[in-house]
Structures are given as structure tokens and as C-alpha cells.
Structure 1
Amino acid sequence: MKININNQNFVLHQSGAAFWEEEKILFISDLHLGKIGHFRKHGMAIPEKAILENFARLNVVLECFDSETIIFLGDLFHSKINNEWNFFSEWTKTHSQKIILIEGNHDIISKQYYLDLNIEVHQELIIHDFLLTHHPSEREQLFNFCGHIHPGIKLKGMGRQFLSLSCFFRKPNQMIFPSFGEFTGNFYLIPKENDQIYAITKEEVIEIKR
């Protein structure tokens, strides 16, 4: 789905990523690499091949867009370093895009690891009139792109059936990105009058009308 914010064009992808056409920037939030390895270490029966799913999804998105920069909106790595870092390190070597990380609350790994991979690390970043953060923030005259919350929406059908979907949650001056990573869960939000919901299905992004 293509949307316009502040006279700029963005394509929302069903993976949870978004592409800024004019700047050729791909935004991804809350990947939480290392979380599957963390679960496996603590005895959860998650197959090791699940670790590769995040990287497969990343590659699919990169093939869809002619991006020059990838900006991760925080929580790129879930916690302490584990063997998934090696997969990520090798993945970065196979792509030419500039990579930027906006630090999230889970990003506790030493910055030097990122710097060694030529990844820029910022607490926040302003590009034109867009404020890029991990936690939702408000700044006068700036539109905020952020993550952290893992937004979702619950839809109720006529037959009392329910459907739960991840979503891009857009407020008048802010858009909260869905979690890109596997096994991250959602926090279900209730939209207000001026909010816009772009729900994610397996095939497409659809706007949910109130």
C-alpha cells in the first residue's frame, strides 16, 4: 500500500517494513534477532531453522525495493549476543545498503560490534521533517516514525468471530511500526477518531475503516 505523509511517498509492505521512495530508505522495526536463540537456550522447542526465517524475510523485502539505506527503528538484537549475531554479521556482508540503527531498549550489545560492521548507531535521527526514534515520541513540527509497541488490531465479525492482525498504527503526527521479527507478539491498540490503521495480512496491507 502506498501512502503520503508530508508530501513524501511511502510503500507499506506486508512484512511490516516501509519504503520511503524519494530517499530510497527502507524502515524496519523490532527485528529482535537473537530471541529465538534465547528461547532455545532456555529449553523451548523451537527448531533451529526458525532462526533463518528472519533473514529470509529480510531478503524478500530487499528484493522488492531499490533501497540505498536500511534504518532499523530499534530492538535489532533482542538481548545478549549469541550465535544469531554470526548470521547477522554474514548477512550484512551480502548487501550493499548503508545500515543505520536507532537504539532501542533491547539494544544492549556494545556499539563496537555494530561499528565493526560499518553500522551507524543513533539514539534518534531527524531526516527532513521526520523524527526517527524507537519509543513513540512527540516533537513540534516533526512527524515521528517509531516502533517498540508492536501494534496490533482486533477485528470483530458479524458472527462474533475475531481476527487479530499486526498493523501500522498512524496518528496525526506519528506512525508506529509493527514488529518485523518472529515470536514477538502484539500489543492491541484501540484507534481514536483521527487515527488510521493499516493492517497486515499475508498477501497485502489494507486500511481498516472505522
Structure 2
Amino acid sequence: MSLPLDVAGETLWLLPDGAVWWPAARTLFAADLHLGKGAAFRAQGQPVPAGSSARTLARLEGLVTRHGAERLIVLGDFWHGADGLTAALLDDVAAFARRVPTVLVLGNHDRRIHPPALPLQTVSGVLSLGPLAAAHEPPPHGAPGFTLAGHLHPAVSLRGRAGDRLRRPCFVRHPHALVLPAFGGLTGALTLRPRDLMGAHVAVLGDDSVHWLPR
């Protein structure tokens, strides 16, 4: 089950996969794929299994197909590091971008290493989308407008009555911005503390649903 979110006169849908669907613009948003992270670790001698980047791209394309999206906007950190830019991955991304019109808002991992020959559009800084904006880093508190962003890989720690804990990725909705969870399979997450949230509203990813937490 997805969650509707009304902002700036538009309705967005928070998807259990960690992406956002904007029906009025036929646009899908995802953040922090970190493609090639496994290959980068393997290049450093770490025994990380292969296939994570291919699975991430397949999940994204599945969402695009399911929603009939006409555009994918990636909110930065499409890539992880230079060591992960293998020929096979670049071929896979080129084929993906020819099937799925893709805009990349360059993140801190992308800015020095993004291969310019790939058939996708890149934007530095903030991408204006009429009533909304897309960026990699969340804007400062009190910034005008409403921005979709990534970068933080947010997660929260949930505690059960028996004292057990479960950490789950989440969306963080501030008055001026929505921070998306990391979409990539090997990204890791930053566990947010109550003081990090500053009154924000948190939507936690379940297996097949998204749930608002009590404030």
C-alpha cells in the first residue's frame, strides 16, 4: 500500500519500494542508487556478491513500467565510485537509459566520475519542476518551495514491547522538503535520532506498504 502526500498543490505517492510517484507529471523519483558499489568493494579485495546493481536497475524499471512513468528523476548518487564503473555496468545503464528517459541530479558521488557519453540528462544543483524542485542534498530549514531530495539514506530504529529493535528505511517529510530513502541495494542507512527529525513526519517502509509513525 502506498501513501498519498499532498504538497505544493500536487499529490505525490510514497511507494513501499522507497521511490515517489508524481502522477500529474508521469514522473518517478528515486534517490541514492550507488550503482557499482559492489564492484568497487570487490576491486579493493572485499568479498561482496555480484549482481546488486543489476537488481537495482531491474527494480527501477519495474516501477517505471508498473506506473506508466514517462520520466525517471534520480536525486543524486547514481554511482558509488570510480572503481565500480565497469564496462558491463556502463553497458547496462546505457541500455536502461535508452528504454527509460532518465534525468540525474548530480550527487556528491557523481560529480567527479559521471561518464558524459551515457544517454541520460544530467543537472547540477537544483532542478526546477514547476511547483516542486529536485535536489541531491536537502535544502536548509525554512527554504522556500518544496524539494524532493536524497543524500541522507534515512532510517529509524523501532523498538518492540519485548525490547527488541528493528531498523527500517524511511521517508522524512519536513515542511519544506521530502527526503527519500536510499534505493540501492548496498547503500546502508543513517539511523535518525528524535533530535535529528526536528518535528518532521516519518513514513517507514514495510515489506509491501508505507506507514506514518506517530509524531
**TM-score, structure 2 normalization:** 0.88
Aligned length in residues: 206
Structure 1 Cα separation of the partners of residues 105 and 158 of structure 2 = 32
How do 1:25-40 and structure 2 match up within 5 A?
Answer: 25-40=27-42
User: What is the alpha-carbon distance in structure 2 between the residues aligned to residue 141 and residue 184 of structure 1?
Assistant: 30
Which residue of 86, 103, 108 maps to 1:105?
A: 108
Give the aligned residue type for 1:152: A
The letter of the residue matching 1:129 is P
Query: Structure 1: where are the runs of 5+ without partners?
Result: none
Residue of structure 1 equivalent to 2:164: 161
Contact 2:106 2:122 in 1 (8 A): no
The corresponding residue for 2:178 is 175
Contact 2:79 2:114 in 1 (8 A): no
Give percent identity, aligned residues only.
27
1:77 Cα offset (Å): 0.9
Alignment match, 2:64? 62
CA-CA distance at 1:48 after TM superposition: 2.2
Q: Which of 196, 203, 213 pairs up with 1:198?
A: 203
> Is 2:116 aligned against 1:149?
no
**Structure 2 letter corresponding to 1:159:** A
Shift in Å at residue 199 of structure 1? Answer: 0.5
Deviation string 1:133-174 (CA, Å, 9 cap, x unpaired) is 111113743112111000001111111011100000111111
C-alpha root-mean-square deviation of aligned residues, in Å?
Answer: 1.8
One-letter code aligned to 2:38: I
Q: What is the match of residue 22 of structure 2?
A: 20
Aligned to 1:185: 188
TM-score where L is the length of structure 1: 0.90
Query: 2:203 aligns to what SS in structure 1?
Result: strand
Question: Once the 2 structures are TM-superposed, how far is the Cα of residue 61 of structure 1 from its aligned partner?
Answer: 1.2
The whole-number CA distance in structure 1 between the counterparts of 2:49 and 2:198 is 43
In structure 2, list runs of 5 or more residues that go unmatched: none
| CA offsets 1:24-55 (integer angstroms, 9 cap, x no match) | 11101000111111112222222323332112
- Tell me how far apart the structure 2 counterparts of residues 75 and 25 of structure 1 sit (CA, whole Å): 19
The amino acid that maps onto 1:100 is V
C-alpha contact (below 8 Å) 1:37/1:51 kept by paired residues: no
